[in-house]
Chains A and B, each alone.
Chain A
Amino acid sequence: MKLPTLDARALILISAAIVIDNVVGETVYLLKIPLFLDCIGIFTVAMLAGPFAAAVAGALGIFIGGLTVQPFALPFVPVGFMIGLTAGGLARIGGFRTWWLAMISGALIGIPTTLVSVPIIVFLFGGVTGSGVDFASDYLVAVGSTLIKSVGFANLGISLIDKSLTGLIAFMIANRLPLRLSTSFRFFAHSRG
């Protein structure tokens, strides 16, 4: 299978998305909102440039984070790849045409994300990620659930809410972009309402 090529604009879009996702986390932390919202850039790339570009943005975003502040995050590169690929696939079938579709798509993306991340968290990190989700996992384990189920359900719960909101915000952003910018990405036709 021949991989799609990325032109200069797609490369810059991916680069911008990686920077956005790294910096948004800082803003969310400042507002003390208990969410991640660190995939807004990936979702935007998915809507503008499609699944391949978004998968590259997702994987590289985590890799870049690993080179700068979180070497710990490097094993989650496949998770970023999966988020981008799924988001791009959903954008292709019109999953981001309206605000409520964008929220549903976001929530749907949470499912394969959790499926890929849970084995990494459980088998590589013993069920612990160092984030607030660990409290939920600990609680579920304490009330008798197995480790995989606890980590799975805790991460799925947070992921559904987090990705759903991410879908909504990415939808708002993509539809407020200057026409000159958004029309220059042909793939965006799938998401234009």
Chain B
Amino acid sequence: MALIVDELVFRFPGAPAPVLNGCTFAIGGGERVAILAPNGAGKTTLARWMAGLLPDGGFLNAERGGVRIGGLPATSFTASQRAVAVQFVGQVPAQQMSGAAFTVYEELAFGPCNLALPRAEVRERVDRALAMCNLEHLAGRDPFSLSGGEQQRVSIASALAMRPSILVLDEPTSNLDPESRDALIAHLRALPDDMTLIVLEVALRPSLAFAERFLLLDGGAIVADGTADDVMRHPRCVALLGTTAIRAAAAQIRDAGKWPAALRLPLLVDDGRVAFREAADALG
């Protein structure tokens, strides 16, 4: 299912400037996309718009533009339709618990039960989501007694149990220890191919493992859209995101005039190994 953000301009009541200022991009079905921006740049707000959680029916409305999901305005969806079209998982694990389930199993079943699905289907979805996120051994536990990493997996599993066409994750790795982060990245890589995955991050590195397309958000608008390298070439990139250590090292060599012009700056350690060897060979 395609998602289009169309010239979206949004400002919080009383704010001097819009947090989203003409934000425009389109994501096709099945794409794996990372939207990159530093803290305070409007990532979470954009994530909420993409997930159909804004406008909220109250004071929070767009000044211009909006979001279309599957060709239809997101505002035209009923709660059940929206829940099946797009799922959102926020940053802080404990805040992602519904507060209506006494066990992890019930937490995962909460959404499908709200959709009034047949019992057998609910159980099948929950069992599958438990397996996908390695949560079978925690099925009987109180969600609030789990660690941050475990809660994050529970919230992602809960979203997966809804079988959404689009999954939006807001900084899913920010509150995790390295081991949990690696486990989560492995789960994201194993998601169904037809599911659109949109991850919002402050840094490039975590999303390199599963994203194919990268968008850079600056000043409330998308300023770069393409591969990781396309984003890294943008003049604002280093100021907004910093850079990987490997890339910084290669950039230093380039500034010293010792980097072959045709060779791209590497992003990952493995790329770096190959690139530094090629650079050394080129220099003789």
Residue numbers of A with Cβ under 8 A of B are 12, 15, 179-180, 183-184, 186
Contact = CB atoms under 8 A, between A and B. Distances in A.
A15 B12 CA distance: 26
Interface string B3-38: 000000000111000000000000000000000000
Contacts of A12: 99
6 contacts: A15-B99, A179-B13, A179-B14, A183-B13, A184-B58, A186-B58
Given A183-B14, A184-B56, A186-B58, 11 more contacts: A12-B99, A15-B99, A179-B13, A179-B14, A180-B12, A180-B13, A183-B13, A183-B59, A184-B58, A184-B59, A184-B60
B40 to A, nearest CB: 14
Interface in B47-94: 56, 58-60
Contacts of B12: 180
The secondary-structure label for the interface of chain B is loop
The secondary-structure label for the interface of chain A is helix
Contacts of B13: 179-180, 183
Contacts of A186: 58
Nearest to A180: B12
Nearest to B60: A184
B100 to A, nearest CB: 9
A171 B90 CA distance: 31
Contacts of A183: 13-14, 59
Q: Which 3 pairs between the two chains have the least Cβ-Cβ distance?
A: A184-B58, A183-B13, A183-B59
B192 to A, nearest CB: 29
Contacts of A15: 99
A15 B59 CA distance: 23
Interface string B247-259: 0000000000000
Contacts of B58: 184, 186
A183 B11 CA distance: 14
Contacts of B99: 12, 15
A184 B99 CA distance: 21
A180 B12 CA distance: 8
Nearest to B56: A184
A165 to B, nearest CB: 29
Contacts of B59: 183-184
A177 to B, nearest CB: 14
Contacts of B14: 179, 183
A80 B243 CA distance: 57
A186 B12 CA distance: 15
A84 B56 CA distance: 26
Contacts of A180: 12-13
A184 B60 CA distance: 8
A182 to B, nearest CB: 10
A180 B14 CA distance: 9
A47 to B, nearest CB: 16
A146 to B, nearest CB: 47
A192 to B, nearest CB: 13
Nearest to B58: A184
A180 B56 CA distance: 12
A119 to B, nearest CB: 36
A11 to B, nearest CB: 10
